[in-house]
A and B are shown apart, each in its own frame.
Chain A
């Protein structure tokens, strides 16, 4: 990225798709992004500061680029983490895995493993590419997110809602049963004590 035009080209071609994917998924704006976007803007403002010499301007352009690359990668990382958190709720619950999916349980589990493996690969590539190619891991994160999205699309929200409602009812029944057992035990104990001592 050599010029300010290249920086804005990167903004349109790489950052905006990443941003739209994340904000479109979580339906909110994470503070982490805003901090980096603000830092990018600050360095761009300095690049246009007439009081700075060419060397300092160039340094600021480079820093703006670094922040923009970082925030682009962070969009995918945050998206992966959000998806993982949502998928884990299914993965950890055997009833949801069995009854709330439109794919088989084994297919879900094998894709969930792939979803994690790709993120691990992305992290490894990212660590190996520090200072060389900071965007080298981008495609791995994107692939992981594609799989995560497939998994989320396999969730039958109607079935999931029914299952959650059923589970709530069962919990209510269990709680009511435990309450009744407690009351009955109390009554029986009182009767026994009365029989013994009175």
Chain B
């Protein structure tokens, strides 16, 4: 039995057990959204309080979180 999701199932009214790959999840979401999912760099949208975009290398999610938790 696949563990429950935090928001996906309640938001879309589905059971995660229906999905067995990322491809199936993508196809489901694309159908819901009515468009293809885009590949994005999330760090580009992360800015600090002074409006500076963090210049992040390939794998800096820990830095993103630490910066957000500083204040």
Contacts and interface: CB of A to CB of B under 8 A. Distances in A.
Q: Say if A and B assemble together.
A: yes
Contacts of B38: 28-29
A81 B19 contact: no
A85 B25 CA distance: 24
Contacts of A28: 37-40
A32 B5 contact: no
A21 B7 contact: yes
A184 interface: no
Interface of A is mostly: helix
A5 to B, nearest CB: 14
Interface residues of A, number: 38
Contacts of B6: 17, 21, 79, 142, 145-146, 149
B10 to A, nearest CB: 8
Contacts of A142: 6
B61 A77 contact: yes
Interface string B14-27: 00100111100110
B35 to A, nearest CB: 9
A23 B23 CA distance: 12
Contacts of B16: 16-17, 20
Interface stretch (A115-123, A175-183, A188-196): A115-123
B59 A149 contact: no
Interface of A: 12-14, 16-17, 19-21, 23-32, 34-35, 37, 74, 77-82, 84-85, 116, 119-120, 123, 142, 145-146, 149
18 contacts: A19-B22, A20-B5, A21-B5, A23-B25, A23-B37, A24-B7, A24-B25, A28-B37, A29-B39, A31-B41, A37-B22, A77-B64, A78-B42, A81-B46, A81-B65, A85-B46, A145-B6, A149-B6
